[in-house]
Amino acid sequence: MFGLATVLAQNPTLLAIARWGGAAFLLWYGSLALRRACSKQSLQQGENQTVRSLRAVLLSALAVTLLNPHVYLDTVLLIGSLGAQQTEPGAYVVGAASASLLWFFTLALGAAWLAPWLARPSTWRILDLLVAVMMFTVAFQLISAS
């Protein structure tokens, strides 16, 4: 919104680094998901699970957020380039942030509602397979865009 998309668009080297780095990450992540989908592992629920501290949970959430290449592809390039075309970019930022908040709140509620199905190992194998397909698709789209 405020210039990073323009910098990337005007610097082919930085854009190539972002594209190929994102594609490599997505291929790696998709491979992990495919391996999980093909294995018989499942989530383990039980009394021997340790409770994680608030700090550990927040650091994990921060890492998953900031190390995700789609955060930068979506927010910087996609939303940024669309927002830069708006007559009121501030209103666009507020709208995009509100939509994001609503999306993630709905996602959390949906996860709670789907908890009985998400406890099944077969559900996770299907989800992992879908994640792998999605990651490979986006990676190949990034690669073909070069």
Predicted local distance difference test score (pLDDT) of residue 68: 79
Query: Residues 118-136: pLDDT tens digits?
Result: 888 888 899 999 999 999 9
CA–CA gap between residue 109 and residue 134 (Å, rounded): 23
141 vs 71: CA distance, rounded Å: 16
pLDDT digits (tens, 9 = 90+) for 55-114: 998 998 888 888 877 777 777 777 877 887 888 888 988 998 899 899 989 998 998 899
Separation between Cα atoms, residue 2 and residue 122, nearest integer Å: 44
Residue 10 reports pLDDT greater than 90: no
| pLDDT, position 39 | 86
SS3 category, 81? helix
| Cα dihedral sign, 134-103-112-73 | positive
- For residue 135, give both structure tokens: 């990651």
As a whole number of angstroms, the distance between CA 104 and CA 106 comes to 5
Map tokens 């910098």 to a residue: 7
- What stretches of the chain show up as alpha helix (H) in DSSP? 4-10, 12-38, 54-66, 69-72, 80-84, 89-113, 115-118, 121-144
Q: What is residue 138's predicted lDDT score, i.e. its pLDDT?
A: 92
Selected residue with higher pLDDT from 146 and 104: 104
